[in-house]
Structure 1
Amino acid sequence: MAQRNSGVLIVAGLIPALILTLVFSIILLGGSDEDTMCLPGSQQPGVTIDPESVPNTPIAGYEHEQLVNAAHIIQAGKELDLSVRDQTIGVMTAMGESSLRVLDHGDAVGPDSRGLFQQRANGAWGSYEDRMDPFTSATNFFKAMMEIEDRDTLEPTIVAHRTQRNADPYHYTRYWPAAVAVVEGLSGVEGIANGEQPVTSSHYSLGDVKPQTAVVANTVGPMFGIKTVGGYRESAHDPEGHPSGLALDFMTNDIPNGRATADQVAQYLIDHADELGVDYIIWWQQIWSADRADEGWRPMADRGSDTQNHYDHVHVNIKPDATGAAVPGCEPTTGGQVSPEGWAQPAAGPITSGYGMRQDPVTGSFTRLHAGTDFGGGGDGGPIWAAQDGVVTDVYTDSSGGWTIDVDHGGGLMTRYKHMWADGVLVSTGDRVSAGDQIGRVGSSGHSTGPHLHFEVHVDGSPVDPEEFFADIGITLG
């Protein structure tokens, strides 16, 4: 592979390491090898939990009664000799259907739905008594789930959807982090990957926070390389914040370019406030509130120290009724799939930085053109796909040491893929590629603050907005 300087500095934005890496405990989702990243489970035996032994302490915001029901689900899976991943899918599904409660009512869509899994009175799920019994209803759920072809290779939410036939296939994604926490918390299993690596249900020690709070922490923190996130704290002054498990502190004093990173964390929280359930944010002695968003940042009274004035961390309060961010349960399937027009998304989303003028995310000192679109890409090592058929015209490091792949598609059209590690470049100059072919793995080489794909589209030698370009051909990136 040739090495040269491009002479053009492309500023990379912060991109998520998708909370896949967060709660996809290897015990639940398989090894770290790229070919088995989403394959788990049946190789990892199920866990055993005695419902009578469930402690009277919350886990991930779920109380004793709910945890006992989760234990019944786990035991039902064990009786069927299912994997720990299968058991966790069962817990996730019941969270999404009933919040782990045995409900004696349905809803407008299914007025005859009952129990933990909101099973219908259509004969497929047994009698009323069966549907209202946690162990029996879970057993019937698992028996139906076992009929799902290739379930070990599917995202957990898709497995649940194909079993339950929910209207929204991704309805259950938001419950996966809490389900992992509950299964690991009840079983006492810290997890062993291939016999050695410990597993945790979260990147951070958050304490007794609500499920939606944990989702935000584990979604946003890894995106920006945050090492420390504060969660539950009984001594805090705001009763609706830390003491209620509804607040987070993203500490930025222990990472390089902390203020610039914190600016981006705060802006990301604002941009995704509805999705994440943000109530308000405090940063740099200013407050932003979702219900007063039109006012922007408002000054906050001086509280004394840097920490009290939030100069060293971004504080966010989550709404009590928030459901949490919709995050994948495994590697997203949108990228790599080729549209009828012959195009593929270059990487998994979400998009956190678009085309246009912006402040340098590394130095924070000046504004320049960000000539592409940044994708989370599933985090470090996630797949990068060719967006269209073409020929690899160059593989090189730019002036900042960022590995780059250029693909010529003919007719004056070229796409560029940046920030792979050296061993994440999977093609060579002269290679022919097809749309959807994996050509690299996400990295963070060069002018970058975290693992992501920086993707550019060039028409007749000039960069254009990738999102607008793809929109013109009927494809929404991200």
Structure 2
Amino acid sequence: MNRGAGVGLAAIIAAPLALIFGLLLVVVILDEDSSDAAAAAGSCDLSGQITLVDTSALPGEVAGYSGRQLENAAIIIDVAASRGLSERAAAIAVMTAMRESTLLNLANAGTYTPPASWTGDWAAQRSVAILSVDYPNDGVADGDWDSVGLFQGRPSQGWGGDGEPAEQIQNLLNPTYTAGRFLDALVAVPGWENMLPAVAAQTVQRSAFPDAYTEDWQPALDVVAALVDVEVTRGECGQYPGTVSAGGWVKPVAGASYSSEYGMRINPVTGAFTEHAGSDFAAPAGTPIYAATDGVVVHVSCDRWEGRSPCNVQIDHGLDASGRRIMSLYVHMYPDGVFAQVGQTVSAGDHIAAVGSNGQSTGAHLHFEIWIDGDDVDPMNYLPTVGIAMP
């Protein structure tokens, strides 16, 4: 039932923040002075302090969650309230627990098989994880690594604290403890309030499925609204901030400025006169990059590839009405700003990456390409044909 095991929360809390967050967050912190960037990132008004839940009158079901699941959500919200945190913080925490454990306090049966290339001591980790079946829980899962509890914390990564193994497991099966650890790490992230919810969650959790959290944002808002009577008129938070064209396309970066055109030019880094195979859109580092239209991710690399800088993501959009294969390419992200995975099916407006300045770049921007039957074409000529008006 674990749908995206988090790792390493204790390391995030215990190590000096400058060391932890300096590298990790360079790809997701927004320019404080850029209201356009904040809007593009899906920031929204969820800043009001959360209030305690009336647990004597929990609803029967909200967004498919009921019973013990809503009780656990109430605990998360109450922990946020006890820390004086916002509705947004509570909703991000609820969203994360939805994705990690379906809001259930799960024990770990220890049946996970590590990859053959892994050289750690799995037997020792497993012996700690399976202690969880001996303590009160909401169910026993097969287990993903040694993950335990509501947020699927791993004792081997410090999620359960510094005590003896049994004490760590009891901590991880205590929703108040784990919600507090998650929220403390979340609010220590500079700029978390203006990040997309999925990016904020991923910064703490380091999940193997970083963009999966997005699916749980609206249900989390619904649950928080039902438990503390918050007005949920803000379901667009974390979603593409514009509209999808009649042709099914969106701008790959919302609110960005057009900074360099397609064609032959003097490379600003090397000084050579070479072809520029795409269009550049300047935006602050961390600004969301969206899938331009529906498709399948066919390439993800943080090495140089086909003459392009790292990191690069390519999406195959299939054949158009004329039978031509259309693909899009996104370049210059930092490694921690790439959320797409090869084989992933994406829809127009899905958050696939964050703007960076990696490789041959003089400033934060997205280098965006359109390929038709394997050849790059001018995006500024192509996009209007699918309903996207460009500057």
Q: Same fold, TM exceeding 0.5?
A: no
Compute the TM-score of the two structures, normalised by the length of structure 2.
Answer: 0.39
Compute the TM-score of the two structures, normalised by the length of structure 1.
Answer: 0.32
Q: Which has the larger radius of gyration?
A: 1
Q: Which has the higher helix share?
A: 2
